[in-house]
């Protein structure tokens, strides 16, 4: 069985996943630095650094997504999908843990 019919749907799904991943990371960065309760200036600097790194990660994901699609490389496209899902899952897990930690401190 050839993966050729799945290349375009995976490519489009990866684009959407990258957008979701970037938006979650963009909004999660300030929450993580606020939870630390440290110096506000250092937190602001840290948020800016994380958002710059996020730009680089999005560029890498999109580069390899396009590279795999235009080279008809199905396994690489699946690997990119797995990495994006792993990254997104990790971000959501960190968000969940930070909320649980904040709720425990409030009680």
11 within some domain: yes
Number of domains into which the chain is organized: 1
User: Who wins on pLDDT, 80 or 94?
Assistant: 80
**Confidence category of residue 102, pLDDT binned at 50, 70, 90:** low
Structure-token pair, residue 6: 């799945």
Q: How far apart are CA 80 and CA 53, in angstroms?
A: 18
Collapse the DSSP code of 86 into the 3-class scheme (helix H, G, I; strand E, B; otherwise coil) and give the result.
Answer: helix
Domain residues for the domain of 25 are 4-101
Query: Over the stretch 33-86, which tens digit does the pLDDT of each residue have?
Result: 776 566 778 778 888 888 899 999 999 999 999 999 999 999 999 999 999 999
107 within some domain: no
Collapse the DSSP code of 68 into the 3-class scheme (helix H, G, I; strand E, B; otherwise coil) and give the result.
Answer: helix
Q: How far apart are CA 80 and CA 84, in angstroms?
A: 6
Looking at residue 35, its pLDDT comes to 62
61 within some domain: yes
Collapse the DSSP code of 38 into the 3-class scheme (helix H, G, I; strand E, B; otherwise coil) and give the result.
Answer: coil
83 within some domain: yes
């Amino acid at each position: 069985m050839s993966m050729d019919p799945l290349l375009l749907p995976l490519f489009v799904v990866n684009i959407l996943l990258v957008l979701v991943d970037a938006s979650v990371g963009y909004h999660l960065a300030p929450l993580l630095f606020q939870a630390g309760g440290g110096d506000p200036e250092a937190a602001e600097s840290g948020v800016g650094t994380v958002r710059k790194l996020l730009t680089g990660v999005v560029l890498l994901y999109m580069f390899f997504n396009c590279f795999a699609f235009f080279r008809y490389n199905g396994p690489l496209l699946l690997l990119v999908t797995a990495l994006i899902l792993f990254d997104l899952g990790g971000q959501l897990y960190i968000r969940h843990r930070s909320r649980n930690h904040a709720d425990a401190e409030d009680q």
